[in-house]
């Protein structure tokens, strides 16, 4: 069986959905291709005085909405095709969750573990300077965020470099998201993608007819979950699904091996063990599987690939037993594997929806940066006082007292993190309904991914039709 490059895979999914959109061939072509591809060399001076030249990219897939948005990945596997695929997925992802951005993505071909913190800072700052020079970054131009191998630390370096080169630009902080909270970041960004996966799974499992088709009970509680990749996305998905959704995480796979316990792994203890020892292996109360890939093939209700693309492909798809696959990573299931899994009746919740929590909260962070005020600052006390007055009045009229605990719950005004979580929850619920309704509206649409593409392409096409073509 033929396999595809990652970008070809995304194009294949696009082509599968295109006939259901009713858009013209030319318009579909405009939406499908990448608008701009930047490849730059990033030189790094080594301790021995020599220079190492690194390969780096930034791709803007679609400028139908501005700025463009997408993470920056540090990985040895980074290449132009991968960055193009990830940029395209960002366009569709933003459209699915109604985030008013075009799609972009960046990457540097390095294994960050092989460099010191000082070297990583130099690499990140030089890469940012290249983006500034080529006008590939800015709060109204293109706004990066963290992805595989990067996090708040790198985002802070990017923001600082941009501000230094664009001295006095009042909205400079909005040039990148996923920054540390004390550096113009937003509460709840670090957990956002994992929390979004949880809200998305909860939505999917709330439809009784869909669950019945899968032979599962309605609701998330008690369902078994296997996670591949305990990084940012995987760890918060597991933690929040367990703590707030009552999910049983029975296995976790990492780059150096996989562990299993059918009775369930305690996520806070596992994450603490990994943070302390640098590995999930050796965790008390779990057995190690022979190969890391074995975890993917375990009997479970929900499989969460949260590492890298192409993990479920033609070589292992027929051995996957999960009823639901939540694509926390970008592109973890190849088109060939999807065909096998859909035939088996598996519900694949596509990346462009299920991992959109990160870009959604990035959007909130960007809004915060442009408004220069923390969410909740203006209204929290006002709301608390108003609720107090209502309770006081109810007590006076009824002659009955509200106990202190109930009063505290009712009068609590929203903090920034409460507003971020509620905005994310609203977004994930609405978007799931949007893609599910599209799916159910036409029996020829083969699954949720095709439906998500149809839903996204129609919105983008509508933008183009209203905008017209310049000149």
The footprint of ligand NAD (CB under 6 A) covers 146-149, 193, 228-234, 253-255, 292, 306-308, 328-330, 355, 358
Which CB, 28 or 329, lies closer to ligand NAD?
A: 329
Which CB, 258 or 445, lies closer to ligand NAD?
A: 258
Q: Taking every pair of C-alpha atoms in the chain, what is the biggest distance, in angstroms?
A: 82
Provide the 10 A C-beta neighbour count for residue 339. 14
Minimal distance, residue 232 CB to ligand NAD, in Å: 4
Phi then psi for 259, rounded to 5 degrees?
A: -125, 155
Counting DSSP H helices and E strands in the chain, the numbers are 16, 12
Minimal distance, residue 281 CB to ligand NAD, in Å: 12
Task: Tell me the C-alpha to C-alpha distance, in Å, between residue 150 and each of 64, 72, 108, 375.
Answer: 27, 7, 10, 26
Minimal distance, residue 440 CB to ligand NAD, in Å: 26
Minimal distance, residue 88 CB to ligand NAD, in Å: 13
Minimal distance, residue 455 CB to ligand NAD, in Å: 18
Which CB, 83 or 253, lies closer to ligand NAD?
A: 253
| DSSP string of 137-171, one letter each residue | -BTTTEEEEE-TT--HHHHHHHHHHHHHHTTT-TT
Active site residues: 105
Minimal distance, residue 74 CB to ligand NAD, in Å: 8
Which CB, 28 or 312, lies closer to ligand NAD?
A: 312
Phi then psi for 429, rounded to 5 degrees?
A: -65, -50
Minimal distance, residue 471 CB to ligand NAD, in Å: 36
Burial group, residue 149, by CB count within 10 angstroms (0-12, 13-18, 19+): buried
For 100, the token pair is 């008013």
Which regions of 242-292 does DSSP assign to beta strands (E)?
Answer: 248-254, 257-260, 287-288
**Which residue, judged by CB position, is nearest to ligand NAD in the bound state?**
231
Which CB, 139 or 357, lies closer to ligand NAD?
A: 357
For 261, the token pair is 């316990």
Residue 96's nearest CA partner among 368, 450, 465, 369 is 450
Burial group, residue 316, by CB count within 10 angstroms (0-12, 13-18, 19+): middle
Minimal distance, residue 359 CB to ligand NAD, in Å: 7
Gap between the Cα atoms of 425 and 421, Å rounded: 6
Phi then psi for 447, rounded to 5 degrees?
A: -175, -175
Which CB, 51 or 290, lies closer to ligand NAD?
A: 290
Give ∠ CA 373-374-377 in degrees, rounded to 5. Answer: 100
Which CB, 21 or 313, lies closer to ligand NAD?
A: 313
Which CB, 108 or 445, lies closer to ligand NAD?
A: 108
DSSP state of 285: T
Q: Half-sphere exposure (CA, 13 Å, Cβ side) for 433?
A: 6
Provide the 10 A C-beta neighbour count for residue 241. 27
Pair 155, 125: CB distance under 8 Å: no
Pair 449, 93: CB distance under 8 Å: no
How many residues can be counted in the chain?
471
């Amino acid at each position: 069986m033929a396999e595809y490059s990652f970008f070809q895979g995304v194009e294949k999914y696009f082509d599968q959905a295109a006939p259901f959109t009713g858009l013209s061939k030319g318009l579909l072509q405009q939406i499908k291709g990448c608008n701009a591809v930047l490849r730059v060399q990033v030189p790094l001076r080594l301790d021995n005085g020599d220079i190492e030249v690194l390969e780096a990219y930034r791709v803007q897939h679609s400028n139908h909405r501005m700025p463009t948005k997408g993470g920056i990945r540090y990985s040895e596997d980074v290449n132009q095709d991968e960055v193009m695929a990830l940029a395209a997925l960002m366009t569709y992802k933003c459209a699915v969750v109604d985030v008013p951005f075009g799609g972009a993505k960046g990457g540097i071909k390095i294994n960050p573990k092989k460099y010191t913190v000082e070297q990583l800072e130099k690499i990140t700052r030089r890469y940012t300077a290249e983006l500034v020079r080529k006008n590939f970054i800015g709060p109204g131009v293109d706004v990066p965020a963290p992805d595989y191998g990067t996090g708040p630390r790198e985002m802070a370096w990017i923001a600082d470099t941009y501000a230094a080169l664009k001295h006095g630009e009042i909205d400079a902080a909005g040039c990148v998201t996923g920054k540390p909270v004390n550096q113009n970041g937003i509460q709840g960004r670090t957990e956002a993608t994992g929390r979004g996966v949880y809200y998305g799974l909860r939505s999917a499992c709330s439809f009784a007819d869909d669950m019945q088709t899968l032979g599962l009970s309605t609701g998330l509680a008690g369902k078994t979950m296997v996670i591949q990749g305990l990084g940012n996305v995987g760890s918060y998905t597991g933690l929040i699904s367990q703590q707030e959704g009552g999910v049983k995480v029975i296995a976790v796979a990492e780059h150096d091996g996989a562990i299993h316990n059918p009775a369930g792994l305690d996520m806070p203890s596992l994450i603490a063990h990994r943070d302390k020892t640098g590995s999930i292996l050796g965790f008390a109360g779990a057995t190690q599987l022979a190969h890391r890939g074995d975890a993917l093939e375990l009997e479970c209700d929900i499989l969460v690939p949260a590492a890298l693309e192409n993990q479920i492909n033609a070589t292992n798809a027929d051995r996957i037993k999960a009823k639901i696959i939540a694509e926390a990573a970008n592109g973890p299931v190849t088109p060939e594997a999807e065909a096998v899994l859909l035939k088996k009746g598996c519900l694949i919740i596509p990346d462009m929806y299920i991992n959109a929590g990160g870009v959604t909260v990035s959007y909130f962070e960007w809004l915060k940066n442009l408004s220069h005020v923390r969410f909740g600052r203006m209204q929290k006390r006002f709301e608390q006082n108003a609720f107090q007055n209502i309770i006081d009045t109810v007590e006076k009229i009824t002659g009955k007292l509200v106990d202190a605990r109930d009063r505290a719950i009712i009068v609590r005004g929203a903090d920034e993190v409460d507003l971020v979580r509620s905005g994310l929850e609203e977004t994930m619920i609405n978007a799931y309904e949007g893609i599910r309704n599209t799916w159910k509206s036409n029996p020829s649409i083969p699954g949720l991914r095709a439906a998500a593409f149809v839903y996204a392409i129609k919105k983008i096409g509508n933008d183009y039709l209203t905008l017209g073509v310049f000149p």
